[in-house]
Chains A and B, each alone.
Chain A
Amino acid sequence: MTDSTAVHNHDDGTVAKARKPAPAEKRRRSRRIRDSNVDRVFMIGVYALLLTFLAVVLIPLLHILASSFSSPNAVSSGRVTLWPVEFSVRGYEVAMSNPQVVTGFVNSLIYTSAGTFISLTLTIAIAYPLSRVDFVGAGIITRFVVFTMLFAGGVIPTYLVVQSLGMLDTRWAMILPQAVGVWQVIIARTYLRHSIPSELYEAAEIDGASDLRVLWSVVLPLAKPMLAVIALMYAIYQWNSYFDALLYLRSDDLYPLQLVLRNILILNTEGGTDTTTMMERRQMADLLKYSLIVISTVPVLLIYPFVARHFSKGATLGAVKG
């Protein structure tokens, strides 16, 4: 907030300053018109603002990373800022040897891979017909789907459905109730409609290909970028979700990583089995939190640089074209 006011100060302050030389400069009009003094100071403000944004986002991340590589003692006494103090990987060793964390990690991998596959399949199954302009009833079906974005039965009525299907405390409860995202359907439909030329459908039809065949051999290969974006959206959603587990799962051997993390990081229920002193255990618990944050975030951030560009395309596709 303070940054935006800082920019305004720059603007206001410079308007007065720039007034004097402005007319003379304008008449001369060299190669560049835009580099007036107002603009130059304005750009300094812009860079200052962006650097502030950068710092605000980066500092917490660097602090977490630095802490995770520091010694338990250094973390507990709050000596770490942005660089590791007394470098150590103790936190990671302890985190990796925690059976709950390992189970959670494996479970999350299962939910993420299976969930993404099912979600992607179902999304394409509805988005492809809706993208065909000659699909009768597309309007009604779209409304049927989009309405669920506006109004929902609620947590309890949904819970009752999951219960009556016998999915409580099973892996299905983590995958099926949230399988299809309306947003993703809209993105997929919009993409297919705009990127597949209708001549291709015509040509395939003349060659005697059925609609399913066209989907499989023409549409899907052409839609790879969009498929990647949507798959990643679902994968990240699955990897990060804990609410469904909180609602539907009872046995802790089914818990996804996020729920395990919540228990350790927020509820502080780390059952220390070490035969160490209270002091040491507390120090270890502090360090463990930082290491766990890094471990659970690394898989997502590792793929992030490769997909960010496509991802933003997907985000804008959904938001702007609705």
Chain B
Amino acid sequence: MASGAPITPHPAVGTTARPLQTTRSRTGWQLAKRRMRRRWQLYLLAAVPLIYFLVFKYVPMVNAVIAFKDYSPVVGIWGSPWVGLQHFQAFFDNPAFWRIVRNTFILSAYTLLAAFPIPIILALALNEVRHRFFKRTVQMVTFAPYFISTVIVVSMTILFLSPRIGLANDALGLFGIGSIDFLGNPDYFRHIYVWSDVWQTAGYSAVIYMAALAGIDPTLYESAKVDGASRIQKIIHVDLPGIMPTAAILMILGVGNIMAIGFEKAFLLQNPLNLSHSEIIPTYVYKTGLLNADFSLAAAVGLFNSVINLGLLVGVNFIAKRVFGHGLW
């Protein structure tokens, strides 16, 4: 990250500086004026997307004050009365509070732990293979599930694990194990959630690690070879340190993303039978906020989620900087 930035300013700064010095008098003024007019086009261009960010990202941040108010659609956000932390208090006092927060955290941590090492292993293994065709085939196939929608992945999971027609239970049948209703049992929910996620994203993440591996200085491999390193030693002493920065960044992003994207899958995989393990903060927000129309309470829960998310991100970034020497900012 840091290496990209300093390289570019050099030529450009140089080129803008040169004409200024050669034509310093009246023409210089005109040039500067014209340049300002030209920059004005760039600002105009950027204005529309900036309005987008303002309206759809920053206005909601301001709107989040309804978490501290008793929102009534009749009088609007600013007309509604302030109630302080009442909604947060209500959420914390809710007997479901600890269960939901715990579910959210466990699911996040489990996803991160499982989804982190597997793409690295896949990438390292692919990196060893010299057969072009085999390598490309494995890469293409493992990358493909990333493009399948969450709805479809969840449907596939449900069909696959179905006690009646599912392939998984057929396979278990071969070992003499009776069919299991995976989705009806809350104990299985976390494993289903996490491993279907790994199935979907491992190939994609591996591609990123592959690129990092390709960027490793070849002289390191040569010196390792000269020192008589085996393939395993080469992986431990050259490959792993080489992908460390990428791993740190992906880890941070993973932490930052989980609380945000968890909704889609958890919601789709949910059923009344596994709710005790599958209810997480985002699904709870959706249900209280939009299905029960309790906007303020839902906004309070959502804000709680966002703040924790930000806290996690800042925390992990801090740790990553200390441990790996690389952070997101």
Chain A residues with CB under 8 Å of chain B are: 4, 11, 26, 33-34, 36, 38-39, 42-43, 46-47, 49-50, 53-54, 56-61, 63-64, 75-78, 81, 122-123, 125-126, 128-130, 132-136, 141, 144-145, 148-161, 165, 176-180, 185, 190, 193-194, 197-199, 201-202, 205, 210-212, 215, 236, 239-243, 247, 258, 261-262, 265-266, 286, 289-290, 293, 296-297, 300-301, 304-305, 308, 312, 315-316, 319-322
Q: How far is the CA of A48 from the CA of B143 in the complex (A)?
A: 18
Contact A316 B282 (CB under 8 A): no
With A141-B46, A320-B208 already in contact, the answer to whether A258 and B1 are too (CB < 8 A) is no
Q: 8 A-B residue contacts at CB 8 Å? A: A59-B167, A76-B165, A134-B39, A150-B256, A156-B298, A157-B66, A179-B56, A308-B143
Contact with A along B206-247 (1 / 0, CB 8 A): 011011100100000000010010111000000000000010
Contact A157 B328 (CB under 8 A): no
Which residue of chain A has the shortest Cβ distance to B253 in the bound complex? A319
Which residue of chain B has the shortest Cβ distance to A133 in the bound complex? B12
Contact A53 B122 (CB under 8 A): yes
Which residue of chain B has the shortest Cβ distance to A247 in the bound complex? B290
Return chain B residues, CB-CB under 8 Å to A266.
Answer: 151, 154-155, 158, 268
Which of under 10, 10 to 19, 20 to 34, or 35 or more describes the interface residues of B? 35 or more
Q: How far is the CA of A145 from the CA of B51 in the complex (A)?
A: 11
Which residue of chain A has the shortest Cβ distance to B41 in the bound complex? A211
Contact with A along B54-83 (1 / 0, CB 8 A): 011111111110100000000001000000
Which residue of chain A has the shortest Cβ distance to B2 in the bound complex? A322
Question: Which of B13, B57, B289, B313 has a CB less than 8 Å from the CB of A153?
Answer: B57
Q: Check B323 for interface membership: any CB of A closer than 8 A.
A: no
Question: Which of A123, A128, A152, A316 has a CB less than 8 Å from the CB of B207?
Answer: A316
Q: Check B86 for interface membership: any CB of A closer than 8 A.
A: no
* Shortest beta-carbon distance from B48 to chain A in Å: 6
* Shortest beta-carbon distance from A225 to chain B in Å: 16
Contact A54 B142 (CB under 8 A): yes
Contact B230 A242 (CB under 8 A): no
With A161-B56, A266-B268, A315-B208 already in contact, the answer to whether A212 and B166 are too (CB < 8 A) is no
Which residue of chain B has the shortest Cβ distance to A294 in the bound complex? B152
Q: Check B106 for interface membership: any CB of A closer than 8 A.
A: no
Return chain A residues, CB-CB under 8 Å to B152.
Answer: 261, 265, 293, 296-297
Contact A78 B165 (CB under 8 A): yes
Residues of B112-157 at the interface with A, using a CB-CB cut-off of 8 Å, are 121-122, 125-126, 128-129, 134, 137-138, 140-145, 147-152, 154-156
Q: How far is the CA of A293 from the CA of B158 in the complex (A)?
A: 12
Contact B231 A157 (CB under 8 A): no
